[in-house]
A and B are shown apart, each in its own frame.
Chain A
Amino acid sequence: MNPPPSPSPMQLGLGAVMLAVLRREIALAMRQKGEVLTPLVFFIVVASLFPLGVGPESALLLRMAPGVLWVSALLAAMLSLQRMFASDYADGSLEQMLLSTTPLTLLVAAKALSHFLLSGLPLVLVAPVLGLQFGLDGQSLWILMLSLLLGTPTLSLIGSIGASLTLGVRGAGVLLSLLILPLYIPVLIFGAGAVEAHASGLGSGGHLSLLAALLVLALFFAPLATTAALKISLE
């Protein structure tokens, strides 16, 4: 038997493999648009319910705005966490990722980044529009966006730990929330705090620096923890 010679394969760098993961996630999300739109619509609806429920008293709304917007964004970003690894686990892609020549930690980081791009970034972009409903001024809207931009990647990274720990568990959704919400508290405090501090004239620099510090910490530790949890789930 004389089959055609195997195609000579080109080597890929680690960055190129991570990019391949990112492109795959984005292509998949574009095919299931509902998964991208659900958190966004949830965020818009929940944040819009508050002015309706509390009433049109502008001073009260203004005071509530940072907290309400941040809590809604946090819950919205959590909605799509469960699906982060679930389909890859079910169809065996996760096994192949574990056996990849690229370290799983880097693949996991790429997955968390794609989760941020698909469910965190849209929230950042739509937040100023919702902020207007609460009567936030221009400067505060920028601070809100900046705090979300620094905070939502941390949420995705911490969330990836929860998603990997609850893989293949029945009732994973509720368990995931219970695991992850306590870990989200620091991000919420400094995120909402940044906007509040700015509104009360204290300056938001300190809060934003702490948010950035949390992001750096999560960027380093979360992929490692997620990798360890995924290995256990696949045993």
Chain B
Amino acid sequence: MRRGNIKLIPGPTLAFHDLGCSKGGRQLFKGVHCTVQPGRWLHIVGANGIGKTSLLRMLCGLSPIEAGDILWNGQSIRKQRGPFQQDLCYLGHLNGLQESMTVRENLAFTTALRGHACTAKAVSATLERFGVAGRAGHLVRHLSQGQKRRVALARLSLAPARLWVLDEPFVAMDDTGIQMLSGLIAQHLAHGGICVLTSHQSVTIGTVPAQTLELRA
């Protein structure tokens, strides 16, 4: 595995320690070990129903950790809920956008939830960057699936976070969208961030090699 200058970026590391998960009495995966250094990204792969989303939800603290532990900056995330949540930005299968509110209102609200204010100017600049320029005043229900996904991703750059957890971020995106998102992730990694994502497609993030975690039953 190639280890370039990105290895030297300081910042918190993410580690899974003997992680296990079961659902409805069935063991999904167990004994998952992995360490992700700052400036690297983790690609979680595995068959449908193997527990990729469950792993991401455990990582975010949406589901309890059943077996093993997840360490952020060397400390269990169970013991540092607040500080860890400050560092985390999660995008799940659901976009988290209220359909009957405008794009601007939605983004202002989600950034407020992350503890930041955002100006109308920042929103329109971000939307332009995400290829949905001029949609700030539109209701979310009038956008296409791909556009909704882009708006949801726009929150990544409106509120800074060290750890991005993205569940199938490339779904419903066109080629330019995929390129734009990989560029965004590459930039995030260059600043010492970490990205954990699931995707069934092969993903290229700039020149940063993928660290792959394959889940098996």
Contact = CB atoms under 8 A, between A and B. Distances in A.
Interface of A: 1, 3-4, 6-7, 9-12, 16-17, 20-21, 24, 27-28, 31-32, 87-88, 90-93, 95-102, 107, 234-235
Nearest to B157: A6
A102 B82 CA distance: 9
Contacts of A21: 109
Contacts of A32: 100
Contacts of B61: 98-99
B129 A4 contact: yes
8 nearest CB pairs, A to B:
A92-B94, A7-B122, A9-B116, A92-B96, A20-B112, A100-B113, A101-B115, A10-B117
Interface in B104-142: 105, 108-119, 121-122, 125-126, 129
Nearest to B187: A3
Chain B CB count within 10 A is highest, among A21, A32, A87, A101, for A101
Contacts of A9: 111, 116-118, 158-160
B88 interface: yes
A12 B109 contact: no
Interface string B183-209: 110110000000000000000000000
Contacts of A90: 94
B59 to A, nearest CB: 11
A96 B96 contact: yes
Given A9-B160, A12-B117, A101-B113, 12 more contacts: A7-B118, A7-B121, A7-B122, A7-B125, A9-B111, A9-B118, A10-B116, A12-B115, A21-B109, A93-B97, A95-B62, A100-B85
B129 to A, nearest CB: 7
Contacts of B129: 3-4
A12 B112 contact: yes
Interface of B: 60-64, 82, 85-86, 88, 90, 92-101, 105, 108-119, 121-122, 125-126, 129, 157-160, 183-184, 186-187
A70 B96 CA distance: 37
Nearest to A90: B94
Given A7-B126, A91-B94, A235-B63, A100 B183 contact: no
Contacts of A98: 61-62
6 contacts: A21-B109, A27-B101, A90-B94, A92-B96, A100-B115, A101-B82
A99 B62 contact: yes
Nearest to B110: A96
A4 B109 contact: no
Given A10-B117, A20-B108, A234-B62, A91 B101 contact: no
A102 B86 CA distance: 9
A235 B88 CA distance: 18
A92 B92 contact: yes
A1 B183 contact: yes
A40 to B, nearest CB: 20
Nearest to B128: A4
Nearest to B188: A6
A95 B158 contact: no
Contact of A99 (B60, B112, B116): B60
Nearest to A13: B115
Chain B CB count within 10 A is highest, among A16, A93, A97, for A93
Nearest to B97: A91
B112 A17 contact: yes
